[in-house]
């Protein structure tokens, strides 16, 4: 026969010790080679091979870990393949048929994986390995994979790096030693490319305090970029659920591909470079020549096309670039002749004191416009930057700021939008509008433009309209100062769109309660200080001082520290070069004061040095009247220092640090963002942990489990309750939330007692109890109370489980509908309210008491002292019922029914068969959990017990007290839960 099936390894029991040893070593070698050379799994003891006569090639048909498994494959082959082979005449036809059949089966199995990569067959094989090795839920999407070495200590392990939507995974099998690594992207603190003596070039990953190094990557840069994107994507999706609204390739976690990530990165780079609206996506890129009329030659570069813009950048990006909106293609020649009139600007000029330099600057720009064009289709060249460094004329600032920032495009594509926002936000009263009113008169109070109602009203309208447009940001301090300066040089609607460009594009994540963007750029600034000012680093090893000092520099673009007539020159550079201009100027400021900073003895002295320096910065070319300049500088001894011209300072910043590339800044931003977010979260967690009476290490592990469970609920869908109700303004511990389904899974892993057959019902009751604000979600603060408490607290918790939720909850409206002021007031009241005592608890009625007794029996099920515990519960229930009977006889003589049977273990062990509904909302919260299993013998006369009665009775039973005071081995539970958590299927 032309088919040959071979069992590659035989049963060990049938061979001698020597032969089995040889086979074992051979198996290890084969397994190692299989892993290194892209095998579908680690070494399998049994294989079925196909061999064609006169050929040296063997085809692997099937493999199995056990003899039973390989026999099943053999039986399938006999039933589905062997009978068909008789119709073929040649061995070549048989080989083709077998190969085609096996490949077809593989293709059919891989259909559900939505694989759309360059080499589908290899990718399907990699996907099968990924699923088998790491046992993640089937919904987890593999994005790409690479061969590499993972350094465990000083020993490299050759294997495979798998990058999926939510995890970084590595697998290696070398000479019997298996190495398996699974890291969630949201757990990574640092991700960077490194080089050292041992590793010439590698990728460094820091997670949970452990360093991981990956090297020997054939495409290291490509690998790093994908890892960087996935880490950034993971954080954005969890902390900003609206981040990918306009990104179909990233909006659904199950559809993310390597190609989609690459397209998203290119579009982001395209928008950042050309300052285009966030809706624009890069469609095509073509290499081309552009005829440059002012130089009379063709320059090589690339044409970049989006739906609404045609852009060109020269090869190095700095020689020239141009942006052509499609809406202006037909009449751009006429547009070049237009002059923009800024007569509505709130700019007060003393025309009698106009300076010759200002007129010369205006003339230089007019010449530039005549050569390079004016408006949206102007050529951006090195000469443009040179003019920016010298300072923009007062009359042209509004026009050029709109052009350089890209705000001109936003305003052109949204006609009437600002007017609608002003009308809609008029008269609204929110936390943001209250803060705006408070800060209106603090915005450049010395400037004439804001000493009248005209300027104040314009400032109010712009800030309120933006808060209405973007409630996620609303209003933050520093926005008023920035907007005031914008209104000095731009019309009201233009100032609004400039604010949009700054807050949503140029300084992302700056203006929110956590100011993550500013903190990230401070970290970038520290990196640049280490790289460019080593002398300062040697003297001040702790650079956190510069982070605290520079925060206002970044938030207000130096407006808060420089005199206004000097600060506007910085804003000129910012709108042209973005954050790069602020970083360069920061380095120049430190460099200028190097000697003084090195000689200072403490931080306070360093702050004084910098403050004196900023007050001495002037603008010799400013046409502002002397009264404004004096008010800005102030009348104190600081003004007596040697003056520094802002134009010279900016020119020096560009000459010394102009080589900083925007691409490097963006990469550094991504790298530092991971560390900043993790540090903020860790600090918040530590602050909360210090207030809780719980073992710190155990609480930390419990927190990590809760956080991971929250992420699991967000990993595979954008419609999870936790994402839909996400509020980024909250502290991290309150942002992480679980719906009932996810809570039930975690509760099963960590439950403090064995709840027998009523787990689903009790998990619903527990969820209702700890969901204090009744929003269908619980945060970590609500969750941790499950695992702490004395005997009395534990018993009180069980007692409250059997009360209707309405008896101990103050209900709030659904999240997203809550009035913030009312919420904050209630939160303050809750802080001040006294601790709940046992006397505050309502009485438990007969139905609830019977279920309470059953719960106790279920808790004790399987305990070594189960029998004595059952007797103790029976004794307590009988005692309580007799007490109730005696009390009732004293008040109303009658013959009470026989309740003794309710106290027996056999009755109590009949657990409720009613299953809890899948969501808390679908259950009847007005009843005591719908327990209707007490039978027809329940009398019409109602009786009840207080918690004090129940507690006193149970305290008389040593077995029960001992059980509840027995320390729970929470460390073991946490360890087991950590291992089991990722293996749970996503639909559980």
pLDDT tens digits, 581-608: 999 999 999 999 999 998 888 888 888 9
- What's the pLDDT at 75? 84
Beta-sheet pairing, 844-845 with 297-305 = unpaired
**Distance in angstroms (rounded) separating the CA atoms of residues 528 and 136:** 40
More confident residue, 987 or 888: 888
- Is the model's pLDDT at 984 over the cut of 60? no
**Distance in angstroms (rounded) separating the CA atoms of residues 776 and 721:** 9
For the chain, percent helix, then strand, then coil, each to nearest 5? 55, 10, 30
- Is the model's pLDDT at 3 over the cut of 90? no
- What's the pLDDT at 460? 94
Does the CA dihedral 543-549-551-557 come out positive or negative? negative
DSSP state of 112: G
85 burial class (0-12, 13-18, 19+ CB within 10 angstroms)? middle
**Distance in angstroms (rounded) separating the CA atoms of residues 308 and 508:** 23
Share of the chain above pLDDT 70, in %: 70
Most confident residue range from 58-62, 385-389, 849-853, 909-913: 385-389
Name the CA radius of gyration of the chain, rounded.
36
- What's the pLDDT at 103? 64
| Contact present, 223 and 203 (Cβ < 8 Å) | yes
Mean pLDDT of 455-474: 91
Average model confidence (pLDDT) across the chain: 74
- Is the model's pLDDT at 613 over the cut of 90? yes
- Is the model's pLDDT at 53 over the cut of 60? yes
- What's the pLDDT at 332? 40
For 616, residues 6+ apart whose C-beta sits below 8 A from its C-beta are 638, 639, 641, 642, 643, 644
Q: What are the CB-based long-range contacts (under 8 Å, 24+) for 692-699?
A: 692/784, 692/788, 693/788, 694/784, 694/787, 694/788, 695/970, 698/970, 698/971, 698/974, 699/784
Run of H or E including 613: helix 603-615
More confident residue, 926 or 305: 305
**Distance in angstroms (rounded) separating the CA atoms of residues 511 and 967:** 47
Of the listed ranges 178-182, 282-286, 358-362, 778-782, the one predicted with least confidence: 778-782
**Distance in angstroms (rounded) separating the CA atoms of residues 222 and 229:** 11
| Contact present, 622 and 629 (Cβ < 8 Å) | yes
Q: Could you give all domains of the chain from N- to C-terminal order, each with its CATH number?
A: 7-20+43-105 (no CATH), 120-240 (2.30.29.30), 258-351 (2.30.29.30), 391-508 (1.10.8.270), 515-624+642-691 (1.10.472.80)
**Confidence bin at 61 (pLDDT 50/70/90):** confident
Mean pLDDT of 345-355: 40
**Distance in angstroms (rounded) separating the CA atoms of residues 475 and 477:** 7
**Confidence bin at 818 (pLDDT 50/70/90):** very low
Q: How far is the CA of 115 from the CAs of 123, 142, 256, in angstroms? A: 7, 9, 10
Mean pLDDT of 655-664: 89
Does the CA dihedral 293-295-298-301 come out positive or negative? negative
Mean pLDDT of 562-586: 94
More confident residue, 26 or 418: 418
- Is the model's pLDDT at 839 over the cut of 70? no
From the list 504, 564, 459, the residue with the least C-alpha distance to 271 is 504
Mean pLDDT of 101-113: 55
pLDDT of 489-537, one tens digit each? 999 999 999 999 999 899 988 887 778 889 999 999 999 999 999 888 8
- According to DSSP, the residues that pair with 309 across neighbouring strands are 325
**Distance in angstroms (rounded) separating the CA atoms of residues 693 and 701:** 15
- Is the model's pLDDT at 788 over the cut of 60? no
**What is the end-to-end Cα distance of the chain in Å, rounded?**
49
Mean pLDDT of 172-190: 86
**Distance in angstroms (rounded) separating the CA atoms of residues 738 and 788:** 20
Compute the half-sphere exposure of residue 262: CA atoms within 13 Å on the CB side of its CA: 9
Residue 303's φ and ψ, nearest 5 degrees, are: -90, 130
**Confidence bin at 19 (pLDDT 50/70/90):** very low
pLDDT of 856-886, one tens digit each? 877 777 778 888 888 888 888 888 877 776 6
- What's the pLDDT at 409? 92
Most confident residue range from 26-30, 421-425, 949-953: 421-425
- Is the model's pLDDT at 231 over the cut of 50? yes
- What's the pLDDT at 242? 61
Beta-sheet pairing, 142-152 with 155-164 = antiparallel
Of the listed ranges 101-115, 383-397, 418-432, 945-959, the one predicted with least confidence: 101-115
């Amino acid at each position: 026969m032309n088919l040959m099936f071979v069992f590659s390894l035989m049963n060990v029991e049938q061979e001698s010790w020597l032969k089995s040893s040889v086979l074992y070593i051979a198996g290890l070698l084969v397994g190692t080679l299989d892993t290194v050379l892209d095998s579908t799994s680690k070494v399998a003891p049994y294989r079925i091979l196909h061999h064609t006569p006169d050929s040296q090639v063997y085809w692997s048909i099937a493999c199995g870990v056990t003899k039973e498994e390989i026999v099943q494959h053999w039986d399938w082959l006999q039933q589905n393949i062997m009978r068909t082979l008789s119709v073929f005449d040649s061995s070549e036809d048989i080989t083709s048929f077998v190969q085609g059949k096996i490949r077809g089966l593989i293709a059919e199995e891989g259909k559900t994986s939505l694989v759309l990569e360059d080499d589908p067959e290899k990718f399907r094989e990699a996907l099968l390995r990924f699923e088998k090795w790491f046992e993640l839920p089937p919904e987890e999407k593999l994005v790409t994979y690479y061969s590499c070495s993972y350094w465990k200590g000083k020993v490299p392990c050759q294997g495979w790096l798998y990058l999926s939507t939510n995890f970084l995974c590595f697998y290696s099998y070398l000479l019997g030693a298996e190495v398996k690594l699974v890291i969630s992207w949201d757990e990574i603190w640092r991700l960077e490319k490194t080089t050292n003596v041992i590793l010439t070039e590698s990728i460094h990953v820091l997670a949970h305090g452990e360093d991981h190094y990956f090297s020997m990557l054939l495409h290291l840069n490509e690998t790093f970029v994908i890892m960087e994107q996935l880490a950034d994507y993971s954080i954005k999706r969890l902390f900003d659920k609206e981040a990918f609204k306009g990104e179909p390739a990233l909006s659904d976690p199950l559809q993310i591909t390597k190609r989609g990530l690459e397209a998203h990165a290119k579009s982001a780079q395209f928008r950042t470079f050309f300052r285009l609206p966030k809706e624009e996506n890069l469609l095509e890129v073509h290499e081309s020549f552009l005829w440059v009329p002012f130089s009379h030659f063709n320059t090589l570069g690339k044409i970049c096309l989006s739906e609404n813009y045609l852009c060109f950048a020269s090869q190095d990006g700095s020689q020239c670039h141009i942006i052509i909106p499609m809406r202006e293609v037909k009449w751009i020649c006429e547009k070049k002749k237009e002059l923009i009139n800024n007569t509505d600007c709130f700019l007060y000029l003393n025309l009698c004191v106009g300076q010759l330099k200002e007129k010369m600057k205006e003339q230089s720009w007019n010449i530039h416009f005549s050569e390079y064009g004016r408006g949206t289709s102007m050529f951006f060249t090195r000469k443009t930057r040179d003019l920016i460094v010298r300072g923009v004329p007062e009359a042209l600032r509004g026009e050029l700021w709109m052009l350089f920032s890209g705000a001109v495009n936003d305003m052109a594509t949204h006609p009437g939008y600002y007017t609608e926002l002003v009308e809609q936000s008029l008269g609204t009263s929110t936390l943001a509008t209250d803060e705006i009113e408070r800060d209106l008169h603090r915005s450049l109070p010395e400037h004439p433009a804001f000493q009248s109602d005209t300027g104040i009203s314009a400032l109010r309208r712009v800030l309120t309209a933006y808060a209405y447009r973007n409630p996620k940001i609303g209003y933050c301090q520093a926005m008023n100062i920035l907007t005031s300066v914008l209104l000095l040089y731009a019309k009201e609607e233009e100032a609004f769109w400039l604010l949009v460009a700054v807050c949503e594009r140029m300084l992302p994540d700056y203006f929110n309660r956590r100011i993550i963007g500013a903190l990230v750029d401070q970290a970038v600034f520290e990196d640049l200080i280490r790289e460019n000012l080593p002398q300062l680093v040697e003297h001040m090893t702790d650079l956190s001082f510069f982070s605290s000092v520079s925060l206002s520099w970044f938030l207000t673009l130096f407006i808060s520290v420089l005199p206004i007539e000097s600060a506007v020159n910085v804003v000129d550079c910012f709108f042209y070069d973005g954050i790069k201009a602020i970083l360069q100027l920061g380095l120049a400021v430190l460099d200028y004061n190097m000697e003084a900073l090195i000689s200072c003895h403490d931080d306070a002295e360093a702050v004084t040095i910098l403050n004196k320096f900023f007050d001495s910065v002037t603008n010799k070319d400013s046409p502002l009247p002397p009264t404004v300049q004096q008010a800005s500088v102030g009348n104190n001894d600081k003004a007596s220092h040697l003056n520094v011209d802002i134009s010279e300072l900016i020119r020096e910043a560009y000459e010394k640090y102009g080589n900083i590339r925007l691409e490097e800044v963006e990469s550094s931003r991504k790298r530092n963002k991971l560390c900043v977010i993790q540090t903020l979260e860790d600090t918040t967690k530590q602050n909360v942990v210090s207030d809780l009476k719980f073992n710190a290490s155990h609480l930390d592990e419990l927190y990590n489990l809760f956080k991971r469970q929250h992420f699991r609920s967000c990993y595979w869908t954008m419609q999870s309750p936790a994402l839909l109700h996400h509020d980024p303004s909250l502290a991290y511990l309150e942002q992480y939330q679980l719906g009932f389904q996810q809570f039930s899974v975690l509760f099963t892993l960590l439950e403090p007692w064995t709840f027998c057959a009523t787990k689903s019902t009790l998990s619903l009751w527990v969820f209702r109890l700890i969901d204090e604000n009744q929003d269908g979600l619980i945060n970590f603060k609500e969750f941790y109370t499950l695992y702490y408490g004395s005997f009395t607290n534990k018993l009180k918790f069980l007692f409250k489980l059997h009360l209707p939720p309405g008896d101990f909850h103050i209900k709030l409206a659904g999240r997203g509908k809550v009035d913030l002021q009312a919420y904050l007031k209630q939160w303050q009241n809750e802080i001040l309210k006294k601790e709940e005592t046992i006397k505050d608890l309502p009485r438990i009625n007969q139905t609830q008491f019977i279920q309470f007794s059953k719960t106790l029996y279920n808790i004790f099920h399987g305990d070594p002292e189960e029998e004595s515990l059952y007797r103790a519960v029976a004794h307590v229930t009988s005692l309580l019922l007799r007490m109730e009977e005696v009390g009732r006889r004293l008040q109303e003589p009658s013959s009470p029914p026989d309740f003794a049977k309710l106290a027996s273990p056999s009755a109590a062990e009949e657990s409720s068969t009613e299953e809890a509904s899948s969501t808390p909302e679908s259950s009847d919260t007005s009843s005591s959990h719908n327990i209707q299993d007490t039978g027809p013998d329940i009398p019409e006369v109602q009786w009840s017990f207080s918690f004090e009665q129940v507690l006193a009775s149970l305290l008389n039973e040593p077995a029960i007290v001992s059980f509840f005071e027995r320390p729970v081995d929470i460390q073991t539970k946490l360890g087991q839960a950590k291992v089991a958590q990722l293996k749970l299927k996503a639909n559980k």
